[in-house]
Amino acid sequence: MYFISTRGGERVTGAEAVVKGIASDGGLFVPEQFPAVGKEEFEAMMGMDYPERAALILKKYFGEYDGDALLAALRSAYGQFEGDDPAPLVRMDNGMYMLELYHGPTCAFKDMALTVLPYLLKTGCEILGRKENVFILTATSGDTGKAALEGFADAKGVKIMVFYPEDGVSKLQKQQMCTQEGDNVNVVAVRGNFDDCQNGVKKIFNSEKCTAAIREKGYLLTSANSINFGRLAPQICYYFSAYLDLVTAGQIGMGDLVDFAVPTGNFGNILAAYYAKRMGLPVGTLICASNKNNVLTEFWRTGIYETKRPFYRTMSPSMDILISSNLERLIFELSGRDAKRTADRMAALSKTGRYALSTEEHDRLKQEFFAGCTSEDETVECIYDFFEDYGYPMDTHTGVAMSVAQKYEETVKGIPMSEGRPIVVVSTASPYKFPQDVLYALTGNDVKDSFKGVKRIHLLTAMKVPEPIKAVRYKPIRFKTTVPPDKMFDEVLKFL
C-alpha cells in the first residue's frame, strides 16, 4: 500500500507516512486507493475479538508490517483498557447505541489510536532503517495531548512535546497533562485557542529552518495528531467492530445500513468512519455533530468554509476548533482527488480564511453526511433528559452528538430507508473528564473543584470512577510554562 499527498508530488509507503507524519508539501497522506474488506473477511471478523479485527483492518494499510507482531502490539495496547472489550457497544432503550471509546488509560477515545501509534512509529523507523531519535510535536484541544504523553512516556529514543490552549481545556484535562510523568515529555500552554496551537505546530513542520534546527539536534520530527495517518488508521477499526457487534447481537443483518453520529472538531474521528465506508462497511449517513463553533455545519449548509467568525469557549472544549485539519482529506476526495485544487484551497484558507466547493462537490458532501450543531443549553438539556429517561450519564461531547442525532431522527421521519435505521452515537470521553460541566447538566449545581464534581457525579449516578481519574488528583504539577504562539518554537529548542 502506498500513500500520496493531498497536495500532490509525493508517494510513500505506509511506514514512511507514519514516520514523516505530514507530507513535504504540507499536505496530508492518504491511501493511494482504499483497500476493500470482502464478504469472507466480514464473516471471519464475526468470530474475532477486537485486537484481531483491528489487525485485519490495519494490515491492509501497513502491508510491510509483520502481521503477528502487529497483532501482539494490539493485544498489548488494548490490554491497558478496563474490561474485556476496549470499544463496547451499549444498546439504549430509545433504539440508539452508544459506542463507548473511553475505557483506556486517559479515559478518552484518543487512547484507541495512541496506545497503538508507538508501535507503528517504532516499527516504521526500523523498516526504514532510521536511527535518529524521534521528536513528536503535537497540538491538543485536550484529549490527544494526554493520550500521546501517556503512550510515549519514557519511550527509548523519543521525546514528545504537547502544546495546549491555556484556557481551552477542562481543568481535569489540564491536570492530566501537567502532572504527566516521564523524563522525555514536555507540556506547554499557549495564550490562544486550539487553532493557534495547531497553526503554530504546522508552521514548524512546514518551515525548513525549523525542521533543519531539529535535525541538527539529532531528532526526526513527526506528529501524534490525526494529521498523521498512523494516528487516524486505528480509528477506522472501531467502526467495523461496532457494526459487527450489531450483527452478532442479532440487531441487524449483514449488509444492513447503520448511521453513526460523531462529535466533531478536527474531523479525524468522523473521517475514519468515512474511510471505513470507502472500505466497504455498510454505512448509511454520517452525522457530523458540532457545538456552538458551528463552522462545519455552515460548511455543509453553504458549501463555503469560512473561519473568520466568532470563536466560542464551550463546555465541550475538544470541539472548540475553527480549522478542521482532516477536512483536507475529505475535500481531496470530493474533488475527485485533484491535488492542485486541494492545494489551492488550502492556500486560500491560509491567506483569506475561506474556500468554496463547486455545486457538484457540495451535492456529494450532502449525500454522504448530515451536519448539525447544538447550543450550550441544548447540550445541557440533552445530558439531563437522557439521564432522567435512561439513567445513562454522558460527557459534554457525547451530549452534543446525541442532541444532533435526535435532530437527524426528526429530519428523516417518513423517509423510506432512513427512518428507523440504527444510529450508533460515538461516545468519546468519560463523563468524569468534564465533571463540573456534567454535574451542572445533571443537577444545575456549580462546583469549582473538579474532584468534588467527580465525587458528586459518582454519588448521583453510581458510575465507577476510572482509576486514571482517581490517580491524577494527588500528582504534583510538573509543567507550568505559558507562551504566546510566536514563541512556541523557542520552547521546542529549549526542550531539545
Beta-strand relationship, 219-222 and 133-139 = parallel
**Residue burial 2-26, b: 16+ Cβ < 10 Å; e: rest:** ebbbbbbebebbbbbbbbbbbbeeb
Note the pLDDT of residue 200: 96
Look at the block and give the residue holding cell 462537490: 361
435 within 8 A of 457, measured Cβ to Cβ: yes
112-149: per-residue pLDDT in tens? 999 999 999 999 999 999 999 999 999 999 899 999 99
Average pLDDT, the chain: 96
CA distance 361 to 299: 12
174-212: per-residue pLDDT in tens? 999 999 999 999 999 999 999 999 999 999 999 999 999
HEC sequence for 150-174: HHHCCCCCEEEEEEEECCCCCHHHH
* Residue 441, H or E segment: helix 435-443
Percent composition of the chain: helix, strand, coil (DSSP 3-state, to 5) = 50, 15, 35
Note the pLDDT of residue 420: 87
477 grid coordinates: 504539577
DSSP, residue by residue, 54-72: HHHHHHHH-TTS-HHHHHH
- Given a cut of 90, is residue 93 above it in pLDDT? no
Task: Of 124, 175, 166, give the one whose Cα is nearest residue 141.
Answer: 166
The residue-averaged pLDDT of 93-109 equals 94
Note the pLDDT of residue 66: 98
Most distant CA pair in the chain, distance: 63
How many other CB atoms are found less than 10 A from the CB of residue 386? 24
Q: Is the dihedral of CA 138, 144, 150, 155 positive or negative?
A: negative
How many other CB atoms are found less than 10 A from the CB of residue 234? 24
CA distance 269 to 261: 10
114 within 8 A of 410, measured Cβ to Cβ: no
266 within 8 A of 240, measured Cβ to Cβ: no
Judge residue 155's burial from the number of C-beta atoms within 10 Å of its C-beta, 0-12 exposed, 13-18 middle, 19 or more buried.
Answer: middle
Note the pLDDT of residue 416: 81
Look at the block and give the residue holding cell 507516512: 17
Confidence of residue 164 (pLDDT cuts 50, 70, 90): very high
CATH topology of domain 89-105+231-469: Rossmann fold (3.40.50)
Confidence of residue 108 (pLDDT cuts 50, 70, 90): very high
Note the pLDDT of residue 415: 85
- Cα-based torsion angle of the residue sequence 397, 398, 403, 404 in order, rounded to the nearest 10 degrees: 80
Note the pLDDT of residue 414: 87
**Which residues on neighbouring strands pair with residue 422, listed in sequence order?**
none
- Write down the pTM of the prediction: 0.96
